[in-house]
Copies of this chain bind each other. A is one copy, B any other.
Amino acid sequence: MATIRDVAARAGVSVATVSRVLNGNGYVNKETARRVRQVIQELNYRPNMVARGLANRKTGTLAVILPDIKNPFFSELARAVEDTARAGGFTVIFCNSDDLGPREKSYIEVLRQKYIDGIIIASNTLEEEDVAYINDNDIPLVVLDRGPGDGSCAVFRAKNADGAKKAVRHLIDTGCRKVAHIAGPEALVTARERLKGYREVAGAFSWFDESLIEPGHFSVEGGKGAVRRLLERHPDVDGIFAGNDLMAIGALKALQRMGIKVPDQVSICGFDGVEMTEWTEPELTTIAQPIYEMGAKATHYLIDRVRGRAEPKAVVELDVRLIQRGTTRRGTD
């Protein structure tokens, strides 16, 4: 492969000059520049990014750490990140953390050794010290969903509590008289926020009871189990707000298995708005987060920071919206 030296030699200039035309900085005579570009073409020269990285401490690579790429929510997010990164001339490294703190830490360490330009992380185990470490090493960071309390880094998240309220209100507006909640893991802020939203709206009704809240682990299986336990305790539940779409799908499945009609006997509303919610029959009503937009915005922001524009801190809360579909009754209009 041709190196910058080859180009310089063939163009009869120094490597510095070639570097200048390559990076478009410093003064270069028009004609000289033309000649250099010409040679670059002839030799089909491409700068070596590793050498450049060593010299610059910039590698044109971003990293995204997320719990599990198989989770449709995260794969949609990942897609948004990669698209945006590509458009900006960056390449991206993916890391599955399974929400394991030590794994995240070890990734962060490796990424630092590799001079990664910036990190996007969707984590619930990230600690303040990790953020501090990343900041100390001057690695731009953006956190999805969760930000350390002190606002020491940028955060992008959806309005979770707000969405939950919308969900419960919608269920009630469409005729439900007793709405239960299948909750995500307490360890996750997003799950807690959604639970909070549920409590806020449902708590005002006389039928409300703490036992209407059942954990479902954010998984399809969890959703199935939760709905069974719930109906055993409260056979009269006629509305279910699931903390995410996977659990909603599990709930739908379990209900169908039990011979309970959705939405005639029980309505369901999920949360997230992953594509899959259109694949069930009936299709799932859900509170849609702007997943792609969230990934794209986070990445744009990160790139801006890498390039030295943009503040190191920022908190962006994205709006969610109700998508009414088959698992809830038509509005009483």
List residues of chain A with CB under 8 Å of any chain B CB: 1, 46-51, 53-54, 59-61, 68-70, 72, 75-76, 78-79, 82-83, 86, 91-96, 109-115, 137, 220, 249-250, 252-253, 256-257, 275-276, 278-281
Picked from B83, B96, B115, B253, the residue with its CB within 8 Å of the CB of A82 is B96
Q: Distance in Å from the Cβ of A100 to the closest Cβ of chain B?
A: 12
Q: Distance in Å from the Cβ of A5 to the closest Cβ of chain B?
A: 15
Chain B residue with Cβ nearest A280: B280
Residues of B within 8 A of A60 (CB): 114
Picked from B79, B86, B109, the residue with its CB within 8 Å of the CB of A70 is B79
Residues of B within 8 A of A112 (CB): 46
Given known A47-B113, A115-B48, A281-B252, contact A82–B53 (CB-CB < 8 A): no
Residues of B within 8 A of A53 (CB): 50
- Which 4 A/B pairs are nearest by Cβ-Cβ distance? A256-B281, A75-B75, A49-B113, A49-B114
Q: How far is the CA of A212 from the CA of B76 in the complex (A)?
A: 34
> Quick check: B69 and A72 within 8 Å, CB to CB?
no
Q: Is the interface of A mostly helix, strand, loop or mixed?
A: helix
Q: Distance in Å from the Cβ of A1 to the closest Cβ of chain B?
A: 8
Picked from B47, B68, B92, B253, the residue with its CB within 8 Å of the CB of A94 is B92
Picked from B69, B72, B78, B113, the residue with its CB within 8 Å of the CB of A48 is B113
Q: Distance in Å from the Cβ of A74 to the closest Cβ of chain B?
A: 9
Q: How far is the CA of A82 from the CA of B63 in the complex (A)?
A: 13
Residues of B within 8 A of A109 (CB): 46
Residues of B within 8 A of A51 (CB): 54
Q: How far is the CA of A86 from the CA of B93 in the complex (A)?
A: 12
Of the A-B pairs whose beta carbons lie under 8 Å apart in the complex, a sample of 16, sorted by A's number, is A46-B112, A48-B113, A48-B115, A49-B113, A50-B50, A50-B53, A50-B114, A60-B114, A61-B93, A69-B69, A69-B79, A72-B72, A252-B281, A253-B280, A276-B276, A280-B280
Q: Distance in Å from the Cβ of A309 to the closest Cβ of chain B?
A: 23
> Quick check: A68 and B72 within 8 Å, CB to CB?
no
Q: How far is the CA of A202 from the CA of B278 in the complex (A)?
A: 32
> Quick check: A68 and B79 within 8 Å, CB to CB?
yes
Q: How far is the CA of A57 from the CA of B94 in the complex (A)?
A: 22
Q: Distance in Å from the Cβ of A129 to the closest Cβ of chain B?
A: 14
> Quick check: B281 and A253 within 8 Å, CB to CB?
yes
Chain B residue with Cβ nearest A246: B279
In the complex, which of the residues A49, A68, A86, A276 has the most CB atoms of chain B within 10 Å of its own CB atom?
A49
Q: How far is the CA of A4 from the CA of B253 in the complex (A)?
A: 58
Chain B residue with Cβ nearest A94: B94
Q: How far is the CA of A109 from the CA of B240 in the complex (A)?
A: 51
Q: Distance in Å from the Cβ of A302 to the closest Cβ of chain B?
A: 16
Q: Distance in Å from the Cβ of A246 to the closest Cβ of chain B?
A: 8
Picked from B79, B93, B253, the residue with its CB within 8 Å of the CB of A279 is B253
Residues of B within 8 A of A279 (CB): 220, 249-250, 253, 276, 280
> Quick check: A76 and B70 within 8 Å, CB to CB?
yes
Q: How far is the CA of A46 from the CA of B137 in the complex (A)?
A: 13
Q: How far is the CA of A280 from the CA of B46 in the complex (A)?
A: 50
